[in-house]
Structure formats: structure tokens, C-alpha cells
Structure 1
């Protein structure tokens, strides 16, 4: 959720080299419409895709209130000390409007074309854990940092005088989920899994167990979902396909489903990605920001009385 306790609503931006106008238009509109987050994907090995951090810097420069995230950073191609410098610089330039999404890496055949040595799955997870540790050490001020890890080494490096941005992971396997529980602030379930999926049911307990094992409160680790789907003018006869995957519906159907996700399944936020249907992305963005997000926020507000107020009372709670 956002700092004021609202459910977080984000929008996934285009990242094609030929989609610059749409990317910037949608980022500015998402900011103007009061969304909380825009995100871009990170695939630096594809020539037809914009560099994620270059795009994010321009987006943050064109907006004033919305946060930006790379969803998720391709860590093997962005060494952790330099990633720390990049995100703290963006945070300083934007007034703290940055979320750091991190992943252990995928598509290793493509990553290797950048000259990066492939890692085994287990080694990639260890590198992810080191990277989060290094990024946290190199932000928030303090004295010089020396770190001699398996994958990253820094010697007497002074941290940036900028708070560490929220760190969300796109972890999938048991070991990376445990890293999320120990070190991260949020989790983005992979493969667009949602709160009714077996992936969530099997994965979230691993995060919670790892968090509790190191003395963390598991509820402080937000679950923020990537959600593709149609936003239609009329209700759909079914909002999920035969496999149980969410496919969308009318704004009212979306609002009902997302409210349930927050109140009954602990969802902290949602990033919407338009799908290739007959609804233009501009229209879908408008429905997401103007109809769905306000409806969910209002339903959650009504279901959760403000702090210090008892449900069903009109006056202040007793001291």
C-alpha cells in the first residue's frame, strides 16, 4: 500500500523502441489521474526494447507525483553497486519516487550475449541476496562500506545520502522466495499469478516463514500483483478462464474482485497491463484510473474504519 494506507494502483508502460510517444503519454496521464506507480520491463539484450532505466529516468522527469519502477530489474546485467548508484540518483532527482524491482535473472541465453557469465539457478539466487544487501548498504548514508561477497565486492565505498527505495522482488522458487522474506519490502508474484492461484497459495507461506525466522513481521512484505486483462463496458459472463486465470470484465467486476483480493487475501496493490483486444490502451487506462481504482479504494475504506475508530461508531474511540 501507499504511505497513507491506500491500496496501490499502477500501470504497465510500453517499452518498445517504436512506442516512445505512447509510453510518455501514458506515464503523464497516469500521473495526472492519480495512480501511484508506473512500471517498465527490463530486457537490455533486445534491440527493439528501450533500456529500462533510461526510460524510467525520462518518465520521472516528465511526471511530478507518481512513482516509477523497473518490473523487474535484470540483475545479472546490472551489477549491484552500480544499480545502487542508479536508483539512489533517480530517487534524489525525483524526490523519492522510485521502487526497486529486482529479479535473479531469466533468459540466460540472451543475457549471455551481453558478455555476462551464466549462473546456475542456485547461484543466481545467492547473487540476488547479495545484491539486495549491497543496495541497502550503499544507500541511507553512513560510513564507508566494505563488502567481500561471492558475487560482489566493494572496498570503502561511501553510501549515497538517500534513503533506500522500497525493494520488491519477482521471486519464483523456494530459495528466492525465502530471500524475499528475509530482505525485501514487497513481492510481485511471477507469471501474473493472482490471489486465487495455486502459485500464490504455495509461495506466500514460504515468504512469511522466512520473514518470521529472522524476526520480521510478514505482514510488512507487500504483495503487489501484475494483472493483465480486459476492461469492458459491459459485464462478462465469466471473469476467469477454464484454468481459473483472471481475464477481466467490466469496471464493476474488476472492483468487486480487487476489493475481495485486498480484504480477504491481503493484496497491497495491483499494476494493470492492457491486453491486445479491441479496447485502446488509452481507454483502458482511463477506466482503470477513474473507475476501478477509486471504487476499490472507497470499498476498502468503508470496510476498514480509520485507526482509533471502532467499526460502526460515529464518535472517537474511547481512550
Structure 2
């Protein structure tokens, strides 16, 4: 079992140097995670903070700018967005950014990409927000274009449904894994089965994850692909304390100041609890075939990470 960490916030509760500038906090936290045994580090791809996590005026770094900084300050972790929005960049530019991140990091880039969903950002930035079916078709087209730009000899031509290349140079080239994030059963999981190396879905419990796996397997069977060829990952909300009630209270406390407010008392994720309880959740996902278990920690709660590194991760 490998472990990942998803950064959704640039608030660091319990960090040893809270007065640091935002970029230095990010670097220090990523280095702390790498030393603790995490093998995958991601940043969310949004213009501002999401209402269920924090406030829109909180500092939020552009995804690939932040990852490029980490490329030179970490040594081993894979680096990616989670997930890159297909519409926030021209796919040719995205291919160049991925190739550059791979070069800067010494071959540690991963393209994780999705069809987009946060319509408030689209509207604010003047980006068209198509219907779901169109967004997924555009995702499929962008994945094929980026793969061509990264792996074919330059200059590259690509004639797609929505996107094209005509004599495009992408040097240095890069053979990076491609992941799709999302759980749409008719469209997103179909594209996953068709084209990519890895799959991720965030914020679901084991029962939902198992169902999505079955849908993905059905798509693979229809396409003649072995679904074991697709690496399975999951991202879960986590907060740890020595006592289960204390963990639940801390989780609600971290979220109560957000615009969306705290979850209902009985709507707390399974990975909020003691190290033993969280280890059981990890084991359950592992039994389902998850190869990389990623945690998302409200406000990057330092005690959670310490307990996870010291008491959960060594069990796997």
C-alpha cells in the first residue's frame, strides 16, 4: 500500500512556524510528509478556496506554480493536481506544463485530470461551462491530445473533436502516467476504462467505492481491457486523535467556520477517529484493491499527520 496526501488548504493548524509565508509553509509541509513516508502529493486545481473547506479570500496558490516549487524542494514523491480541470488551460499548454513539471521534478509528474464542476469559478473567469456529457467528451479529447503531445516525436499533429495540434513542439517530452478523477458511471468511468493508467475518486466510503469498481470493471470488459491494468486510488477525509470523540469534535471544529458550516453529527467520514479506527478503514479499502490510499486533512491538521505517520502508515 502506498500513501498520498491531498492539499486543499493553505492553513496549517498546529504547524511549528505559523508565521511563515504561504509558499514556505507549503514546502515545509511537503517535506515533512515525504520524510514520513508519503509517496504522492497533490494540490487542488481551483482559483480560490472551496466553501466546504474555507473562505474565498484565503491564500490559494495556482496548482502548477505550487507543484513546480515543490519539484525542486522534494526528492521522491509523485506530484500532481487533484484534479486538473480540463477547461482551465488549453490542452496544449497543459501538456507543456506537465512536461515541464516532469523535467523539474526528475520524472515525478503525474497528470490527474477531471471534467470540471465548480461553476462559480467558470462564471467568474468567463469560461464556458458545458453540460456534463460535453465536458466529459472534452476530457476524453484533451487526454488523447496531451498523451500525443507528450509521447510522440515533435512536431506533433492531432485532429480531435474539440482540440487540435498542428506542428506542436513539446520538448523535453515526457511519458507520465495519466489519472482520471471522478465517479460518473456512464461517462467518466467509461473514459477511465478507455484511456488512462490510474483512477481516483474522492470522499466516498468503501461501499460506494466497491460499487464504482464494479462499474469500471464492466466498462473494461466491454472494451476488452483488463481492469487490473488500471491502478486504483482513493482520497478520503481524515482527522485523527487518540480518542474517537475528540477526533470527531476536532473535525467539526475545523469546518464550523467555513461558509458551508460543519457536517451533521452523524455525517463524519469513516477516517475520522483513532489511529486503530483509521487503520481499519485503510485495510478495508486495501481489500477492495486500492493501491494508493490518500488522505485529505482539514486545515492540514498537524496532529493528524503525526498520528497517521507514527501509528497507521507503518502497519502497511
- Shared fold by TM > 0.5? yes
Q: Is the CA contact 2:42–2:80 (under 8 Å) kept in the aligned structure 1?
A: yes
What is the Cα deviation at residue 259 of structure 1? 1.8
1:266 aligned to 2:289?
Answer: yes
What is the Cα deviation at residue 20 of structure 1? 3.4
1:223 pairs, out of 228, 232, 236, with: 232
Per the normalisation by structure 2, the TM-score is 0.81
Alignment partner, residue 182 of structure 1: 194
Aligned-partner Cα distance in 2 for 1:172–1:21: 34
Alignment partner, residue 293 of structure 1: 313
Q: Is the CA contact 2:45–2:62 (under 8 Å) kept in the aligned structure 1?
A: yes
What is the Cα deviation at residue 250 of structure 1? 1.7
Aligned-partner Cα distance in 2 for 1:229–1:181: 28
Q: Is the CA contact 1:224–1:267 (under 8 Å) kept in the aligned structure 2?
A: yes
Could you tell which deviates more after superposition, 219-228 or 163-172? 163-172
The gaps in structure 1 that reach 5 residues or longer are 1-6, 298-319
Q: Which string of whole-angstrom CA distances, capped at 9 and with x for unpartnered residues, describes residues 173-197 of structure 1?
A: 221110011112122114x013223
Aligned-partner Cα distance in 2 for 1:67–1:282: 21
- Matched residue of 1:76: which SS? coil
The gaps in structure 2 that reach 5 residues or longer are 12-20, 49-55, 249-264
Alignment partner, residue 125 of structure 1: 136
Aligned-partner Cα distance in 1 for 2:246–2:298: 19
2:183 pairs, out of 162, 169, 172, with: 172
Highest RCO, 1 vs 2 (Cα 8 Å, sep ≥ 6): 2
Q: Is the CA contact 1:189–1:223 (under 8 Å) kept in the aligned structure 2?
A: no
Q: Is the CA contact 1:60–1:67 (under 8 Å) kept in the aligned structure 2?
A: no
Alignment partner, residue 99 of structure 2: 88
- Matched residue of 1:105: which SS? coil
Q: Which string of whole-angstrom CA distances, capped at 9 and with x for unpartnered residues, describes residues 4-61 of structure 1?
A: xxx1201122544974343222101111222101111011266642101101111121
- Matched residue of 1:31: which SS? helix
Alignment partner, residue 157 of structure 2: 146
2:84 pairs, out of 64, 73, 91, with: 73
User: Matched residue pairs, number?
Assistant: 282
What is the root-mean-square deviation of aligned Cα atoms in Å?
2.5
Q: Which string of whole-angstrom CA distances, capped at 9 and with x for unpartnered residues, describes residues 220-249 of structure 1?
A: 21221111122111356999x756841422
Alignment partner, residue 119 of structure 2: 108
Alignment partner, residue 3 of structure 2: 9
Per the normalisation by structure 1, the TM-score is 0.80
Distance 1:15 1:250, change over 3 A: closer
Q: Is the CA contact 2:216–2:227 (under 8 Å) kept in the aligned structure 1?
A: yes
1:55 pairs, out of 66, 69, 88, with: 66
1:36 aligned to 2:39?
Answer: yes
Aligned-partner Cα distance in 2 for 1:238–1:28: 25
Distance 1:170 1:89, change over 3 A: same
1:281 pairs, out of 285, 295, 301, with: 301
Runs of at least 4 residues of structure 1 off by over 6 A? none
Q: Which string of whole-angstrom CA distances, capped at 9 and with x for unpartnered residues, describes residues 239-287 of structure 1?
A: 9x7568414222222223212321x2111111112236xxx72222222
